[in-house]
Every structure is written in C-alpha cells, then in structure tokens.
Amino acid sequence: MKNCFGYIYTMKLTNIITQGILLGVSFITIFLAIINNPSYEGGIKWKEVLIWTALVQFFVGLYQLINAIIVTIRKLAKKQMNDYLKIFWLAVLSYFVIGGLLAFLFEEVAHGSIPNTKTERIYAYWFVSAWGIAIFYFVITVKDWLEHKQQKTNA
C-alpha cells in the first residue's frame, strides 16, 4: 500500500509541475507577444496577440481536460468527488454552451445583423473564462495534492 501511496503522490506532484510549466510558458508567450509585437500607428496588433493566446490556451486546456477526465473517473470510482471538481465541470459545460451560442452570434455578425463592435465582448468572454477555468483547475490540483500530502503525513 505504501508504494501505491507514493506513486499517487508522485503523479499528483508531476501533474502540478506540468500544469505550472504550461501556465508559465503560456503567460510568458502572451507577454512576449505583447511586447515584441511590432507597433504601428494604432499600437499593438491585438489580433496577433489573441491568436498566440488562443494557441497556448488550446494546449493548456487540452492537457487539463484530459487530466480532469482521469481525475473525475478516479474520484467517482472511489466516491470521493468534491465540490471543487463539480464546479469545474459546471464551468466547463457553461464555457462550451455559452461559447456555442456566441459562435452562433458570430454568424449573425458576419451577416451584419449584429454590429462588429460587439465581437470584442465575445472575444473577452472566451479569453477571460478560458483562463479563469485554467487557473481554477490548477488551484484545484494544488489543493488536491496538499490534501493528499497531509493524509500521507498523518498516516
């Protein structure tokens, strides 16, 4: 049992390090995209920064989504599902449902039914909510690791 406990501890720590590296690289990439973006009369080319942001968010989100599925299956099997993980899945569901509705609105923007200035709000929703979910899941992962570490110390 001790080896299994050590293995789980190591996997949780590896997960935190991996997510930390992904998030760190993401924020550095976004920062560099902003400061290295060639200026023109209008200032920073935010569209290019948004593209870089979406690219790095894709990899962070993909890793976290796969990890969350594995963790959820493991916690459901052990009947240890916690409220934080439920909130995470609710946020992910809301992100995709609302994101899908906003994608529909993009079609309306393309057809001229909605003014193009409203698209900035749609981009802001996707940006803020995606990074909010990513940071929240990282916090959940750290909290889970700390609880596991505390159990290991008390055992």
Q: What does the alpha-carbon distance between residue 38 and residue 35 come to, in Å, rounded to a whole number?
A: 8
Model confidence, pTM? 0.74
Share of the chain above pLDDT 70, in %: 73
Q: What does the alpha-carbon distance between residue 147 and residue 38 come to, in Å, rounded to a whole number?
A: 46
Q: In the structure, what pLDDT confidence band is assigned to residue 45 with cuts at 50, 70 and 90?
A: low
Is 70 exceeded by the pLDDT of residue 7? no
**How many domains are there within the chain?**
1
Which domain does 90 fall in, by range? 2-154
Q: In the structure, what pLDDT confidence band is assigned to residue 1 with cuts at 50, 70 and 90?
A: very low
Residue with tokens 């995470």: 88
In the chain, the amino acid numbered 66 is I
